[in-house]
Amino acid sequence: DTEVTQTPKHLVMGMTNKKSLKCEQHMGHRAMYWYKQKAKKPPELMFVYSYEKLSINESVPSRFSPECPNSSLLNLHLHALQPEDSALYLCASSQEPLSNTEAFFGQGTRLTVV
Amino acid sequence: RKEVEQDPGPFNVPEGATVAFNCTYSNSASQSFFWYRQDCRKEPKLLMSVYSSGNEDGRFTAQLNRASQYISLLIRDSKLSDSATYLCVVHGNQFYFGTGTSLTVIP
C-alpha cells in the first residue's frame, strides 16, 4: 500500500462553518505534511508532523488547526475561513523526517470558502 | 532568496522533441533531490529521484551537480502525455518546491 488517502475530495464551506480534512497513510511513515496549493503555484508548506509531534508551523493562521491522533492519521480542522483560503489542500507523508526518501502525496481536498 | 529556483516556462515543444528543465537550490546542506510531475488539478507524483551519478528511466534523465547546486531533467522523444507541470523538489528539513515548469507537447 503506497497510498495517501484524503477525504473529502471536495468541500464547500461558509465562513462561519467548522469542518475537518482527513488524511491517512499505512506505509509506516513517521513524517506527515499539510500543504496548500493555489492555481498555477507550487505547494506551500503549512505544517509538518514528525513522530506525531508538530515540528514545523509555517506561520499559518490559527483558523487552521492541525492534529495528529496517531502515526497513520493527520487532520486539519478549519474554522472561520476566508474566501482567500480556497485552494487545494494536499497531505503528504515520508518515511522519516530527515531521510532521503521521497514524499507521497494524497489526491488533495479542493476547498471552496463562500 | 528562494530555496529552489526554477524556470516556470511555459515550454511548448513538438512531439518527438528533446526538452531540458533546470533548477538551482540555495542550501548546500540539502540532502535529497527529486523531480515531481503534476497534472492539472491533480496531486504531485514522483517522477524521479536525482543522484550525483545521474540516473535514467526510459526517456527521462536526471542529473545533480552538487558543486553548482544545480539539478536538471532531460526528456527525450517527447510524447503528448508528457504535458504537465514539472516540479523540482529539494529535501533538507522539509521539502522545498520550485515554482514548477509547464510543458505542453504539441502534435
The verdict on a CB contact (< 8 Å) between A42 and B43 is: no
pLDDT digit string (tens) for A73-100? 999 999 999 999 999 999 999 998 777 8
Model confidence band, residue B1 (pLDDT cutoffs 50, 70, 90)? confident
Query: Is B33's pLDDT higher than 90?
Result: yes
Whether residue B91 lies within 8 A of chain A, CB to CB, comes out as: yes
Query: Is B70's pLDDT higher than 90?
Result: yes
How far apart CA A19 and CA A17 sit, in angstroms, is: 6
Q: What is the mean pLDDT of residues B61-66?
A: 95
pLDDT digit string (tens) for A24-79? 999 999 999 999 999 999 999 999 999 999 998 999 999 999 999 999 999 999 99
The one-letter amino acid at B65: N
User: Which grid coordinates are listed for A51?
Assistant: 513522530
> Which of A45, A101, A110 is opposite residue B94, by nearest beta carbon?
A45
* pLDDT, position A2: 65
Q: Highest mean pLDDT: which of A54-58, B3-7, B52-56, B79-83? A: B79-83
Query: Is B84's pLDDT higher than 80?
Result: yes
On the question of a cis peptide bond just before residue B10, with omega within 30 degrees of 0, the verdict is yes
* pLDDT, position B52: 82
> Among candidates B70, B69, B72, which has minimal Cα distance to B19?
B72
Distances, alpha carbon A34 to alpha carbons A68, B6, B55, in Å? 11, 22, 29
Percent of chain B exceeding pLDDT 70 equals: 100
- On chain A, the residues whose CB falls within 8 A of the CB of B31 are 98, 100
Q: What is the mean pLDDT of residues B1-13?
A: 91
Distances, alpha carbon A2 to alpha carbons A29, A103, B2, in Å? 10, 11, 31
CA-only gyration radius of chain B, Å? 13
3-state SS, residue B71:
strand
Question: Is A69 within 8 Å of A53 (Cβ atoms)?
Answer: no
User: Which grid coordinates are listed for A101?
Assistant: 526518501
As a 3-state breakdown, chain A gives helix, strand, coil percent values, each rounded to 5, of 5, 55, 40
3-state SS, residue B80:
helix
> Which of B46, B99, B100 is opposite residue A102, by nearest beta carbon?
B46
Whether residue A30 lies within 8 A of chain B, CB to CB, comes out as: no
* pLDDT, position B9: 87
Residues in a beta bridge with B32: B91
The verdict on a CB contact (< 8 Å) between A100 and B32 is: yes
Q: What is the mean pLDDT of residues A3-26?
A: 96
Range 53-82 of B in CB contact (< 8 A) with A: none
